[in-house]
Amino acid sequence: MSVALIQPLVVRTVAVSDPDDLLARLPGAAPYAWIRNGEGLVGWGEAARAMVPPGPGRFDWARGWLSSLFAGALIRDEVGMPGSGPVAFGSFTFDADAPGTVLVVPRVVLARRDGRAWLTTIGDNAFDLARPPVEPGRIRYGDGTLTAPQWEHRVARAVRRIRDGGLDKVVLARDLTAVADRDIDIRVLLGRLARSYPECYTFSVDGLVGATPELLVRHTGQAVESLVLAGTTPRGSGPADDATRAAALYASKKDRHEHACAVASVREALTPLCSALHVPEEPELLVLPNVQHLASRVTGRLSDGASVLDVVAAMHPTAAVGGTPTGTALGLIRELEGMDRGGYSGPVGWIDAHGDGEWGIALRCAYISGRHARLFAGCGIMAGSDPATELAEAQAKLRVMQYALEG
């Protein structure tokens, strides 16, 4: 079901002076955001919204709805950049059969990129003034679907299944609940995440908030790019410990195999869509404030006029968030996790009327509703995985959103 609040859309995009801090311009209610290194887009209000029906055809449905909506729009775009004109922010659930996939076209979008800034408005807008963000106060945590020992037991079961044959890897997620003294102001979380993780993509879409290091796809014209992350170690106590951990990660057969599986799944998804594709032979190291990852940047050129959603549909779920082989891994996830991930580890990002956009994998994130938050983390389980080590990795990943809540 979809609801268009303004139809047809009357859209105007104009150049504006540099807004400096995009997040500081957001009003308090239901912000939308996609920020990296201070650049990106923020939005507020709703010109149109669609709750995308679950099922295997959901990406086709989303593309069709957006095409119809944008084709009927009256657009005056004086900027002509990717992300100018009407833009939809979206979050797709990890599981295609789960409800909760949403697309929203904000009434106002403010953006900056490559030394330029612009403002897009839809309809007649009475601009909301940005109120000072409100701290959430004390945070109390509780177990999510499973306690820590229960989750370790599920990891051990997954390891046994992998060793018995049939699959190489499965990604198991863990959730944690939190309750604040006051309603959680999403702008507080966005500001902390953007400052502490500037190299990540800080996002907010319909209550799903986080800072993901993993770029599923950037689509600009015919060019596509994807950043594959798989293989993780926590940061050390200092430079020497960091270097030791990085060397061990790079030499780890388990982590290198996990990374190779993830890269292979991206190569397999992109090859039919691309006339040219470059896949690095060796991974590099991506160092974040809390963890280090093995990373490979894959680039290519599309062979036809596919939109960013076509590429997202072909790539999701990658081995980095599902497992290998995909079908077997998804079945084991449903058996062992015992929860609905919602948008966690699903595609999150934006698309414009030309089909350009940026979509990440919703990692290091939480669902926010009033005073309540549900935090997520996941780990790639292999034949050599140790449950206690995987739990420590999940806890390190959960600390990203714990910091965002607590400061």
Per residue in 273-289, pLDDT (tens digit) is: 999 999 999 999 999 88
Which domain covers residue 248, as residue numbers?
Answer: 2-406
For residue 6, pLDDT over 90 is answered with no
Q: What angle do CA 139, 405, 389 make, to 5 degrees?
A: 90
Q: Cα separation of 189 and 26, whole Å?
A: 13
Binning pLDDT at 50, 70 and 90, where does residue 129 land? low
Strand-pair partners of 105:
48
pLDDT at site 23: 95
Residue 231: count of CB within 10 angstroms of its CB: 24
For residue 2, pLDDT over 70 is answered with no
254 or 186, higher pLDDT: 186
pTM (2 d.p.): 0.94
For residue 126, pLDDT over 70 is answered with no
Mean pLDDT along residues 228-245: 90
CATH number, residue 153: 3.60.120.10
- Which amino acid is present at 171? V
Does 169 qualify as catalytic in the annotation? yes
Q: What token pair was written down for 361? A: 């994998």
Q: Cα separation of 405 and 407, whole Å?
A: 6
Mean pLDDT along residues 292-303: 93
pLDDT at site 71: 94
> Looking at the 3D structure of the chain, how many domains does it have?
1
For residue 158, pLDDT over 90 is answered with yes
For residue 224, pLDDT over 90 is answered with yes
Q: What percent of the chain has pLDDT over 90?
A: 85
pLDDT at site 195: 96
For residue 134, pLDDT over 80 is answered with yes
In terms of phi and psi (left: phi > 0; alpha: psi -120 to 50; beta: otherwise), the region of 373 is beta
Of 311, 230, 303, 308, nearest in space to 270 by CA? 311
Q: Cα separation of 341 and 365, whole Å?
A: 11
Type and span of the H or E element at 242:
helix 239-251
Binning pLDDT at 50, 70 and 90, where does residue 5 land? low
Instruction: Decide if 54 contacts 96 (C-beta within 8 A).
Output: yes
Residue 45: count of CB within 10 angstroms of its CB: 24
Query: Strand, coil or helix: what is 98?
Result: coil
Rg (CA), the chain: 21
Instruction: Decide if 233 contacts 291 (C-beta within 8 A).
Output: yes
For residue 29, pLDDT over 80 is answered with no
Q: What token pair was written down for 397? A: 């990943």
For the chain, give the number of residues: 407
pLDDT at site 198: 95
pLDDT at site 125: 66
Task: Please give the mean pLDDT across all residues of the chain.
Answer: 93
Does 253 qualify as catalytic in the annotation? no
Instruction: Decide if 381 contacts 170 (C-beta within 8 A).
Output: yes
The active-site residue, picked from 152, 169, 358, 390, is 169
Binning pLDDT at 50, 70 and 90, where does residue 261 land? confident
Q: What token pair was written down for 23? A: 């997040």
Mean pLDDT along residues 378-389: 94
pLDDT at site 8: 87
Using H for helix, E for strand and C for coil, what is the string for 106-131? CCEEEEEECCEEEEEEECCCCCCCCC
The sign of the torsion formed by the CA atoms of 1, 42, 188, 37 equals positive
Of 311, 312, 401, 264, nearest in space to 93 by CA? 312
The active-site residue, picked from 214, 258, 390, 393, is 214
For residue 249, pLDDT over 60 is answered with yes
Instruction: Decide if 1 contacts 48 (C-beta within 8 A).
Output: no
Mean pLDDT along residues 85-110: 97
Q: Cα separation of 391 and 319, whole Å?
A: 20
Per residue in 161-203, pLDDT (tens digit) is: 999 998 999 999 999 999 999 999 999 999 999 999 999 999 9
